[in-house]
Structure 1
Amino acid sequence: MKNPSCALFDPGSPPGGVREGPAGAQRLRVAGRPGPESRAAGRGRRWRYITILFSDLCGSVALSEALDAPDYVRAVQHLRAVTRRVVAAGGGTIARLQGDGVLVFFHGDAGPQEDARRAMACALALHAAVRARAGGWPLALHSGIHAGVTYLDDGDIERGRYDLIGCTPNIAARLSALAGRDQILASDVVLSGHAASFLTQGMKPVRLRGCAQPLPTCEVVGFGHGDCAGVGWGDAPARLHA
């Protein structure tokens, strides 16, 4: 995976193609703010600037060993049902729900700032819903959120409902892997402009495998004094741009 701060994306290249462009090639920064060209790149489903949330169940192996097989299956089924409900309420789209993990993206009409806000609000709501599970199952998530230019394509039975290719989903997944139990790690790209809306802690540069430069990241721990505590809940899901 190339360094997300300097990867050159060619909207005309094959899906997932990242190349070093010729002189004069237009640069789309995955780890920077999106220009108008990044949201307009491609038609149908092609290169899009989107925000991605990757969440996974903590300690799934230990949990599967601690529970009887039927109880573990019911726990995972409950997790999936909660995920579908919370993501739909938060205006996100599930790209893939596999095993005990989920890949969600946000790309609505209101633009990338609202996408980022919805992603963080959705992550907080999802973690809270999983923590509140009655019945004695010790369920908790760890999540990562990142935003950038991603190749968005239709999926299939193997790849999931949508296929997301590029640095952005990889970075979101790696941030999730770094997160501790019930922890949400978000990159500074996602956090930009939302200091008053969310409570965060521990901003620090994180080194990710394959990235030449550290990625500033911090933990999202709750809603701040802004007005976003209820954003997305009960609203219509965001629509994809044409």
Structure 2
Amino acid sequence: MVMSAPDQSPDEDRILIAAIARCNNVVLARVSSARGVHEITPLDAFQEVMIGDGFIDVPLDKDGVLRRIRFVTAKPQREGGLELLPSFALELARVYLNLDFVFDFSGTDYFLLGSKDRHIRLPYPDLLVNYAGDYTAFDVISFADAANNTFDPALVQGRLVLVGSTLSSEKDFFTTPLSRFRVEASTLTGRFAAMEMGVQGSDEPGVACHAHAVENILGQNFLRHLTGLPVALLCLACSVAGLLFYLPRLNWVYGIAILLVNLVFLAAVSSIALTRWSVRIDSFPLILTSLLQFVGGVILQNVFGHKQTAMITSMFGKYVSSGVVKELIKGDITTTLEGQRATLTILFSDLRGFTAISEKLGARDTALLLNTYFDTMIPLVFAQDGTLDKLMGDAIMAFFGAPVEVTGHPAKGAATALNMISELKILKQRCDLKGMADLEVGIGLNSGEVTVGNLGSHDFMNYTIVGDAVNLASRLEGLNKIYGTAILLSQFIVQELDDRFVIRDLDRVRVKGKQTAVNIYELVGWRSTITDTTRAGLDLFEQGLVAYRHQEWNEAEQLFNQVLDKLPGDGPTRLYLARIDRMRANPPGPCWDGISTFNHK
């Protein structure tokens, strides 16, 4: 409200001028010419009695929001030089604090108002208004109450009073950062339904904006603008956090989710800093950093992801199923290529007499026969989550439990062995390739601790396993030829199998390279497919084995012969009948431990 024109009633002006002179504490408003408009000042009569004035025109940001108020403006003088004019808010605060009209602009981001002994420090060049809310944050007295003297005098005693219009016709309203996003209050509570204040929409009356500025100056609760080095450090922290957590796990789904979390987090931090500590964070660099992390992560994923995919495919594509390779690429399962100790199940298989078979065939027929055999067997390994270690001529070496940890890998190895035997029978019936009908396979299975990883030289690496458990599985495969069996198991895998499998105790052996004897067993088949005749034969074999170990040769021989009645041609039974003949000829004596020692592979 600028007293720039006389009232229609000169008496009204005289009364007001007299009141201002009597109080001697009134600061009036003016409009500066800083924005190219004509300067508007109070009438001379008012200037004679006021103790100060300040400009009320305010700069708006490009989006039309009132965020800042200038402290001073410079007015050129006719005789040369500049006159500093204070803003209305600054002049009110200066008069209220009784400070000298002296400025010290020696600081880079602040200036001092007042004398050396008594002054206040203010941000330079302008005030970023720290809005405490809307105009209702202040005590409001209507014009009618003031004119009728119906207000509480305690509301104004010793306090600054700003007089201004809130009538919509005056159009003295501004959009503030708070009012810009405020839902119109009348739609929620109807509290402004009465029009005595005349406030429209959610914009703030100009007088309230100046009141917020005065409150900031007196309370020294300025909004500090966090820029420069602190923001750079926050950007660096975001980048480091991205490198440690964000980028290594980046894909489209996680990337967008983490980006949204980052943006919400930045918004929350900015809001808390603003409301609790009056710190305004320049969030654009932080948001830009998050966006660049996302975009950069996607680019890196595309660039380096293909290399990782190629590496995993080349490393494991020949050893495990395509499904496992896809899970490794996606990161759903993890593994390490470095050598580590792990308990696995090892499978060795070898074709019986294949050397003699291949000598009868040409190179082409031999290759075709082997390829057909491997095309059938290798998928059976993959079907049980197994890993193909290597092919050695006509032999297959595989293991279960790595690179993917598999629960119950002994059972998966046993199931693979049984499936290989049954599939070979089907293949021999359906395939008429030369030599196919003569194929027989022996399989050795063992579970134990091995070293697994990417092993080899700098020029050649292979994902493989080594250890005594591997050697024992290989020895068991070879013993099938002696016992006339198809699948031999060690005691270490048998103790991990469930009752779905039918197991036959065969012997206690000491294989080449091992000093400790090991119990070996035959994997006969699935319990669900075993006939009553086979079950009866296995029971008789168990009784015969007990008699044999007690050196009761006659009883053992009788029982084993009964086994052959049930299981004609049974290899282990024929082996023990031959052993009984040798034992009779050369009795082992009372200290015999029943261990069979093999000094060949």
State the TM-score, normalized to the length of structure 2.
0.29
Q: Which residue of 2 aligns with 1:73?
A: 367
1:135: how far off?
Answer: 1.0
1:210: how far off?
Answer: 1.7
1:46 counterpart (315, 340, 345): 340
Q: Which residue of 2 aligns with 1:178?
A: 479
Q: Which residue of 1 aligns with 2:520?
A: 217
Counterpart residue type for residue 179 of structure 1: N
Contact 1:80 1:97 (C-alpha < 8 Å) held by counterparts: no
Greater share of residues in helix: 2
Establish whether residue 140 from structure 1 lines up as the match of residue 440 from structure 2.
Answer: yes
Q: Which residue of 1 aligns with 2:450?
A: 150
Give the distance between the partners of 2:338 and 2:391, measured in 1 at CA. Answer: 23
**Alignment map for 1:52-131 (pairs within 5 Å):** 52-107=346-401, 108-111=404-407, 114-131=408-425
CA deviation vs aligned residue, 1:175-214 (integer Å, no higher than 9, x gap): 1011136610010110114251111224321220121121
Give the distance between the partners of 2:478 and 2:509, measured in 1 at CA. Answer: 12
Please state whether the residue corresponding to 2:415 is helix, strand or coil. helix
1:110: how far off?
Answer: 4.3
Contact 1:198 1:223 (C-alpha < 8 Å) held by counterparts: yes
Give the distance between the partners of 2:497 and 2:392, measured in 1 at CA. Answer: 30
Please state whether the residue corresponding to 1:179 is helix, strand or coil. helix
Give the distance between the partners of 1:140 and 1:165, measured in 2 at CA. Answer: 27
CA deviation vs aligned residue, 1:79-124 (integer Å, no higher than 9, x gap): 221122111112110011221111100005343xx11000000011
Q: Which segments of 5 or more consecutive residues in structure 1 lack a partner in the other structure?
A: 1-41, 227-242
Counterpart residue type for residue 405 of structure 2: D
Give the distance between the partners of 1:221 and 1:205, measured in 2 at CA. Answer: 18
CA deviation vs aligned residue, 1:2-32 (integer Å, no higher than 9, x gap): xxxxxxxxxxxxxxxxxxxxxxxxxxxxxxx
Contact 1:60 1:100 (C-alpha < 8 Å) held by counterparts: yes
Higher mean C-alpha deviation, range 72-81 or range 132-141: 132-141
Give the distance between the partners of 2:341 and 2:474, measured in 1 at CA. Answer: 19
Give the distance between the partners of 1:147 and 1:171, measured in 2 at CA. Answer: 9
Contact 1:96 1:160 (C-alpha < 8 Å) held by counterparts: no
1:130: how far off?
Answer: 1.9
**Alignment map for 1:159-198 (pairs within 5 Å):** 161-180=462-481, 183-194=486-497, 196-198=499-501
Change (3 A) 1:169 1:159: farther
Greater share of residues in strand: 1
Counterpart residue type for residue 171 of structure 1: L
Number of positions where the alignment pairs a residue of Structure 1 with one of Structure 2: 183
Give the distance between the partners of 1:74 and 1:59, measured in 2 at CA. Answer: 17
CA deviation vs aligned residue, 1:51-91 (integer Å, no higher than 9, x gap): 10011111111111222332211111112211221111121
Give the distance between the partners of 2:396 and 2:460, measured in 1 at CA. Answer: 12
Counterpart residue type for residue 143 of structure 1: I
Counterpart residue type for residue 87 of structure 1: V
Give the distance between the partners of 1:102 and 1:116, measured in 2 at CA. Answer: 17
1:156: how far off?
Answer: 6.2
Contact 1:131 1:139 (C-alpha < 8 Å) held by counterparts: no
Contact 1:52 1:105 (C-alpha < 8 Å) held by counterparts: yes
Counterpart residue type for residue 361 of structure 2: L
1:159: how far off?
Answer: 7.8
1:160: how far off?
Answer: 7.8
Relative contact order: is structure 1 or structure 2 higher (C-alpha 8 Å, sep ≥ 6)?
1
Counterpart residue type for residue 377 of structure 2: T
Contact 2:452 2:463 (C-alpha < 8 Å) held by counterparts: yes
Contact 1:95 1:160 (C-alpha < 8 Å) held by counterparts: no
Please state whether the residue corresponding to 1:80 is helix, strand or coil. helix
**Alignment map for 1:203-214 (pairs within 5 Å):** 203-214=506-517
Change (3 A) 1:128 1:170: same
Which runs of at least 4 in structure 1 moved beyond 4 Å after TM superposition?
Answer: 155-161
Contact 2:350 2:443 (C-alpha < 8 Å) held by counterparts: yes
Give the distance between the partners of 2:383 and 2:468, measured in 1 at CA. Answer: 27
Contact 1:90 1:118 (C-alpha < 8 Å) held by counterparts: yes
Give the distance between the partners of 2:342 and 2:406, measured in 1 at CA. Answer: 14
Higher mean C-alpha deviation, range 145-154 or range 186-195: 186-195
Please state whether the residue corresponding to 2:416 is helix, strand or coil. helix
Q: Percent identical across equivalent pairs?
A: 25
Contact 1:45 1:152 (C-alpha < 8 Å) held by counterparts: yes
State the TM-score, normalized to the length of structure 1.
0.68
Change (3 A) 1:217 1:135: same
Larger Rg: 2
Counterpart residue type for residue 88 of structure 1: F
